Structure 1
Amino acid sequence: MTRRRSSARFFDPTGARFGIPTWPWRMAPPHLRTLRQLAAEGLRPGGQEIAGQVLWNSRRYRKGVRAAYLYDVRLALPKRVPTDRQRAALGKALAARRMCPTCRRDAGYVLPRHLGECLDCADAIGTEVSAA
């Protein structure tokens, strides 16, 4: 019974109560998708406005209600494909985030920003301080 009450609470397909068309969890029309659903289909919103939202109760969220915005799949565009030069630049940028400035080697993971160096170098400094 609680579930039906909360479903009716979020059912507003005209947008009179919430400002945009709103549906409860799993009750949105089939042509509307979230950003993640569009991405999974290889699509992007393509500059279109939000077509609606899905609201649901959540115990984890601060106000107890969570939202997911919906976009019309019929107006969505295919995802852009990066060029070879863009891919190369991204590879260099990611490699720079793995390079330790202290020992000058590729750590194999992205360096923690709060340390500014690889874990081995950070541990070595901590060991030197405690030994002194």
Structure 2
Amino acid sequence: MSRIRAAFWDPAGQRYGIPTFPWRMAPPHLLTLRQLAAMGLRPGGQGVQAQVLWRSRRYGARGGVRAAYLYDVRFALPKRTPSPRQRDALAKANAARRTCPDCGRDAGYVLPRHLGTCLDCAEAAGVAA
């Protein structure tokens, strides 16, 4: 194991407070939120069980260390599905975000908040986008 990987090897959680693993060395039952979501699962109220740390040149100003939090798949629950009324409410809210208050048409995209209107109306009014 390289020195960089050994720096992040703390399965007991003594150094970092929670179990910590280097990149690609976490146990298979610990997954990130995105991995759980891809499987149709959610954490289900459990807290962060462990973390993965790795060095990144892209984040040099923050110490160059990035983290991904891990959850135990054994305690995960299935994702909740919204009710038909919730889906209708979301559809209405999204339609309101797409409807221009000036011309009243559905722009087909979410209106920019700094303009408050669709791009065509903002251009006609001479407002710089």
Q: TM-score interval w.r.t. the shorter chain?
A: over 0.9
Question: Distance in 2 between the 1:121 and 1:63 partners?
Answer: 46
Q: Distance in 2 between matches of 1:38 and 1:28?
A: 15
Which residue does the alignment assign to 2:89? 89
The one-letter code of the counterpart of 1:15 is G
What do the CA deviations read for 1:81-129 (whole angstroms, capped 9, x no partner)? 10011001100000000000111110000001111110001111118x9
1:38 maps to 36
**Structure 1 residues without counterparts, runs of 5 or longer:** none
Q: Which runs of 4+ in 1 moved over 4 A?
A: none
What residue is the counterpart of 1:67 in the other structure? 67
Give the deviation of 1:63 after TM superposition: 2.3
RMSD of the alignment, in Å?
1.5
The Cα shift of 1:75 comes to 0.3
Counterpart position of 1:50: 48
The equivalences for 1:1-132 within 5 A come to 4-61=2-59, 62-126=62-126
With structure 1 as the length reference, what TM-score do the two structures score?
Answer: 0.91
Separation in structure 2 between the aligned mates of residue 103 and residue 58 of structure 1, nearest angstrom: 48
Quote how far apart the aligned CAs of 1:54 are: 0.3
Shift of 1:4: 1.6
CA distance in 1, matches of 2:76, 2:44: 6
Q: CA deviation at 1:30?
A: 0.4
Q: Which has the larger radius of gyration?
A: 1
Query: Which sections of structure 2, spanning at least 5 residues, go unmatched?
Result: none
Deviation at 1:60, TM superposition (A): 2.1
User: Distance in 2 between the 1:44 and 1:111 partners?
Assistant: 31
Give % identity. 74
TM-score with structure 2 setting the length:
0.93
